[in-house]
Structure 1
């Protein structure tokens, strides 16, 4: 459909506070508006008489309803881009906009509801709904100015690796997961974070998703304000650059970008924004194609290998070894990219296995957060005391 939505590409000179990636290969009727710093994404409606959507406007439908249809179409284009890169997680339900019109009298029919194919897709769809209620970026301006200084996330991991001879630990503050349910009933995020730090963690990962992991940005902020010195990773399902700015206002030093969800252009764009904000981007992969995609992106310094299949949630720590063999491992070493082993790590033998494969850091949650004393859980994980004192 031509002429309904015209969006213009943002100026190269004003990348700051642009909340939507720039898809330079969009069809001719779609481009992005130029936006000044702190502006919000806007759409211009142009209904032409020869446009099929003209019937929507002239039949009493509001422009807002018509824009919802066009928003869905843009989402479908994102799905097509993602699918071309092997991404199976759909950003939008696939069967159509919320409603459609049939017949000469424009009867309105509701489309049947769409069912996510796996838990990750369900989380992404829910996150998209959550973000519709977000505050404008301009509201974050003052909070960004007052955000605490960014700390060196990768530097902390490397220092821990050199000090202990073991992978630097990113200990995860996590109350629950979709696959395991509640992991810890007596959940005090600040107390757990302090115990991790005491036990020798180099960095912390804080779950901020509420619906599926029982986390919150309030937990992230509380840990930062409590004086915990470990750099903090905001463990969120990021689908929009706005989330990067928000994480920074809450005290994050690093953020997670999931290659199974984000097309290459999104990752490139978000990595650049992270550098503007001083954030470290941990880019997560879980198969060969995702790894190759990420290695082709300039500026990647930290890659996480998730041993969990993000669609089935099955675990296999041999994935880490498989992905780091051969040419990929050589590229990693040449570029001095830090590799983080994620998921399925419960014993000193597991840690030794991924370290032998080339991992310099590990992200662990379940096996230590469930311990009555998380600090002791850290020493049990590594088979020895790695604390500073």
Structure 2
């Protein structure tokens, strides 16, 4: 897979390192495809992700997140099950679980543990490049998986969206700019995430992201991602037409994540 050319810088190298690590792990994962397919085929039906984001209020997707390349350590010693339980009690509509280990400190085991604790839909948050990762996600109990437009060629993106549907997963297709948003829509995305964080340099621009949220067609679920920490931020997202918000660091690092989730989860949706 050839990624589009960008100016090299340190943060861009981090993205490339993450993708390179994923590619390196794929051959071993592919050898387990038969085993994973059997596990996915016999897994319990997962709670529906898209329906959970279409309520009268802006749905909160609360994230289990230990660290990130941009923020460093967030909550390195967190208990995924206990944190997800706090989110559920606080009114989250879904839980995002980071499963990339080298840079985010997450594992697929975190997702499996959370699945055993809460009844909410789970999003596998990772750098997905191959169908076998989707099968693995479904076998672990995920309802949805993240697909990052920036990391995929158009044909790959379209193929993975179709593959996700075959395995009973929703695809949260993440874009950062207008070109990526157009690519997500052209690929047939039903759930579109707009990330305020630029994955090339890790800068954030919530205003620009919310302008893009407003451009997401009403037929799609629009998810605002990153750079939000307060109820006021969620209200801004609602004003732009967001159906849901994905919030990680502000929740995972909160002294009382249940109360923080409750504060963020009650904003009325306004539509687009």
RMSD: 2.0
Name 2:23's counterpart in structure 1: 128
Q: Which runs of 5+ in 2 are unaligned?
A: 268-272
CA-CA distance at 1:127 after TM superposition: 1.0
For residues 266 and 371 of structure 1, what CA distance do their matches in structure 2 show? 37
CA contact (8 A) 2:67 2:76 kept: no
2:171 maps to which of 259, 277, 281: 281
CA-CA distance at 1:252 after TM superposition: 0.6
Name 1:141's counterpart in structure 2: 37
Residue aligned with 1:346, SS:
coil
* Residue 170 (str. 1) matches residue 61 (str. 2): yes
CA contact (8 A) 1:286 1:319 kept: no
CA-CA distance at 1:260 after TM superposition: 0.4
Name 2:77's counterpart in structure 1: 186
CA-CA distance at 1:117 after TM superposition: 4.0
Name 1:308's counterpart in structure 2: 197
Q: Which runs of 5+ in 1 are unaligned?
A: 1-77, 91-114, 385-389
CA contact (8 A) 1:345 1:364 kept: yes
Name 1:152's counterpart in structure 2: 48
Name 1:74's counterpart in structure 2: none
CA contact (8 A) 2:213 2:222 kept: no
CA-CA distance at 1:150 after TM superposition: 2.4
* Residue 348 (str. 1) matches residue 222 (str. 2): no
For residues 99 and 130 of structure 2, what CA distance do their matches in structure 1 show? 15
* 4+ long deviations beyond 3 Å: 87-90, 380-384
* Residues 1:185 and 1:271: Cα distance change in structure 2 (over 3 Å): closer
Would you say how many aligned residue pairs link Structure 1 and Structure 2?
265
For residues 136 and 266 of structure 2, what CA distance do their matches in structure 1 show? 37
For residues 276 and 354 of structure 1, what CA distance do their matches in structure 2 show? 31
Residue aligned with 2:171, SS:
strand
Which is bigger in relative contact order (C-alpha 8 A, separation at least 6)?
Answer: 2
What CA deviation, in whole Å up to 9, does each residue of 1:322-366 have, x standing for no partner?
Answer: 2245xx34xx02xx1010000000112211111111111000010
* Residue 203 (str. 1) matches residue 203 (str. 2): no
* Residues 1:353 and 1:221: Cα distance change in structure 2 (over 3 Å): same
Name 2:252's counterpart in structure 1: 369
What CA deviation, in whole Å up to 9, does each residue of 1:121-154 have, x standing for no partner?
Answer: 1110111112232233112233123312122101
CA contact (8 A) 2:213 2:224 kept: no
For residues 121 and 217 of structure 1, what CA distance do their matches in structure 2 show? 21
* Residue 250 (str. 1) matches residue 140 (str. 2): yes
For residues 254 and 41 of structure 2, what CA distance do their matches in structure 1 show? 38
* Residues 1:199 and 1:310: Cα distance change in structure 2 (over 3 Å): same
* Residues 1:301 and 1:315: Cα distance change in structure 2 (over 3 Å): same
Name 2:270's counterpart in structure 1: none
- Relative to its length, the structure with more helix (as a share) is 2
CA contact (8 A) 1:173 1:207 kept: yes
**Aligned positions of 1:29-108 closer than 5 A:** 78-79=1-2, 82-83=3-4, 88=6
* Residues 1:316 and 1:116: Cα distance change in structure 2 (over 3 Å): closer
**Between Structure 1 and Structure 2, whose CA radius of gyration is higher?**
1
* Residue 219 (str. 1) matches residue 110 (str. 2): yes
1:295 maps to which of 167, 176, 185: 185
CA contact (8 A) 1:118 1:312 kept: no
What CA deviation, in whole Å up to 9, does each residue of 1:260-307 have, x standing for no partner?
Answer: 001111111111111111100000000011011111123x21000000
1:379 maps to which of 249, 262, 266: 262
CA-CA distance at 1:194 after TM superposition: 0.4
Name 1:232's counterpart in structure 2: 122
TM-score by length of 1: 0.65
TM-score by length of 2: 0.91
For residues 162 and 148 of structure 2, what CA distance do their matches in structure 1 show? 15
